[in-house]
Amino acid sequence: MNRLFLSLFLTVCLVTTSCSGQKQKEGQTEVLIETTAGEIRVRLYNDTPGHRDNFLSKIRDGKYDGTLFHRVVRNFMIQAGDPDTRPGEVKDTTKAVERIPAEIAFPKHFSQRGVLAAARDEDYKNPERASDKYQFYIVTGKTISDDDLNGYEAARQEKYADKIYERKVEKNKKKINELRSERKRDELGYYLQDLMNEARREAADNPPLTYPTKVRRAYKTHGGAPWLDDDYTIFGEVVEGMKTVNTIQKTPTNANEVPLREIRIIRMTIIE
């Protein structure tokens, strides 16, 4: 009887918990990342299916095996996954990258400590914020104050206002050109200022980014990198192995944020 009970108990534990003792959420896939610095276990989100399936496909094909952590920034993040980067080499940002569509879900997913997210190239080349098909990063970050979060909100709102202003200028280009051709400089200045004021009011009425109480509490308590929010796709989180992540982020780097000693992904294993 005792032997039967123990067998049933162990079976239930294997189904409902991970090796770390954390409950494994039903239907969510986990991945074990074995590195030369230790192991990291991540859980992938189902509401970012494009990124989840792309990540799993690369793992099944062995694309990440042997790749480097090619960029490390203290109190920010560790980045890996590029199959073309060589030891000591700075990533070539001019090279065309393979992309997948963004699946940004802020504030449900935000850049708190321990999240797994997709890297991408700059806005001017990639206004759709599409993700690199290979490169990913794990956030380490730092604790953030309410004042800092308020500042990030204000900066994002100002940037949004600038975009609205640019659209208004384009829409009213005919009148603006007429004022310029007639050399009505004062009138043109007042007109452009009115457009800017309108843009700022519209941005204030519909701010592009605000931090809910729950998100603010997480940043103040656990930390993260809120300046990335609403710009990058977050598709998973570390459930075990933040000690390894911290070890990697503390490795010395050169001026280009490239680690001075090689840290590699040995292999990734999908935990079914």
Burial of 126 (0-12, 13-18, 19+ CB in 10 A): middle
Closest CA to 85 of 101, 65, 69, 102: 69
pLDDT tens-digit profile, the chain (272 residues): 444 444 433 333 333 333 333 445 668 999 999 999 999 999 999 999 999 999 999 999 999 999 999 999 999 999 999 988 766 566 655 566 799 999 999 999 999 999 999 999 999 999 999 999 999 999 999 999 999 999 999 999 999 999 999 999 999 999 999 999 999 999 999 999 999 999 999 999 999 999 999 999 999 999 999 999 999 999 999 999 999 999 999 999 999 999 999 999 999 999 97
β-pair type (131-132, 99-100)? antiparallel
pTM of the model: 0.83
Spatial neighbors of 258 by CB under 8 A, at least 6 apart, are 70, 71, 72, 88, 89, 90
Spatial neighbors of 34 by CB under 8 A, at least 6 apart, are 265, 266, 267, 268, 269
Residue 137's CB is within 10 A of a number of other CB atoms, namely 24
Q: From start to end of the chain, where are the E strands?
A: 30-35, 38-44, 69-73, 77-80, 99-100, 115-118, 131-132, 136-139, 234-240, 265-271
pLDDT score recorded for residue 26: 64
